[in-house]
């Protein structure tokens, strides 16, 4: 009887161990639809995927003016205003100055700039370990924030927002 009981215990531990491992590797995903703001005609989708401690943002946009545009995470998941001002300022839980993501001083929401082609289309991919999806860490958790696309380029200097112009598309980052 003892041999059978020990054999079952080992098998049970192996099954538990495999199940725990696969759960830890599972990706968390949020799929968003960006809505037009400021009468811009800009629309698109954005996906946030967290896997192995990193979050990847992939956004696909249409209806943009050709050229450079800023994109940021803002402090509120509220796109109700026609100009998206209801989303508040840039998400800045660590109280840093606005800047480029690669600078020592930057907001957690300072994603940066991207280029729209001659037809007004753009794809953005951004990856970081400074964000999480639903982890509860106020300095990393993007849930409950807003994703904003701007009309102009972020200059990375003007405080507190980079002088990126009108908010042309918005989506709440919610599950």
Dist. CA 83–CA 31, nearest whole Å: 22
Residue 121 inside a domain? The answer is yes
- For residue 73, is it within any domain? yes
Q: pLDDT digit string (tens) for 26-45?
A: 899 999 999 999 999 999 99
> What pLDDT score was predicted for residue 4?
39
Whether residue 23 lies inside any domain: the answer is no
**The total number of structural domains that make up the chain:** 1
Q: Is residue 16 part of a domain?
A: no
3 within some domain? no
pLDDT of residue 25: 62
Q: How confident is the model at residue 13 (pLDDT cuts 50, 70, 90)?
A: very low
Q: What pTM was computed for the model?
A: 0.85
- What is the residue range of 166's domain? 28-173
In a domain, 63, yes or no: yes
CATH number reported for the structural domain that contains residue 159 in this entry? 2.60.40.200
pLDDT at 15: 35
């Amino acid at each position: 009887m003892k041999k059978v009981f020990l054999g079952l215990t080992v098998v049970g531990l192996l099954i538990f161990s495999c199940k725990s491992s696969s759960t830890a590797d599972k990706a968390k995903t949020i799929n968003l639809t960006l809505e037009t703001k400021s009468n811009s005609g800009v629309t698109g989708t954005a996906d946030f995927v967290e896997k192995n401690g990193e979050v990847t943002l992939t956004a696909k946009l249409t209806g943009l003016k050709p050229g450079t545009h800023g994109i940021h995470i803002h402090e509120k998941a509220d796109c109700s205003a026609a100009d998206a001002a209801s989303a508040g300022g840039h998400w800045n839980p660590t109280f840093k100055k606005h800047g480029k993501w690669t600078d020592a001083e930057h907001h957690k929401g300072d994603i940066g700039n991207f280029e729209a082609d001659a037809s007004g289309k753009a794809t953005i991919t951004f990856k970081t370990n400074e964000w999480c999806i639903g982890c509860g860490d106020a300095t990393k958790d993007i849930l409950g924030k807003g994703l904003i696309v701007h009309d102009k380029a972020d200059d990375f200097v003007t405080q507190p927002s980079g002088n990126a112009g009108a908010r042309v598309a918005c989506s709440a980052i919610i599950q």
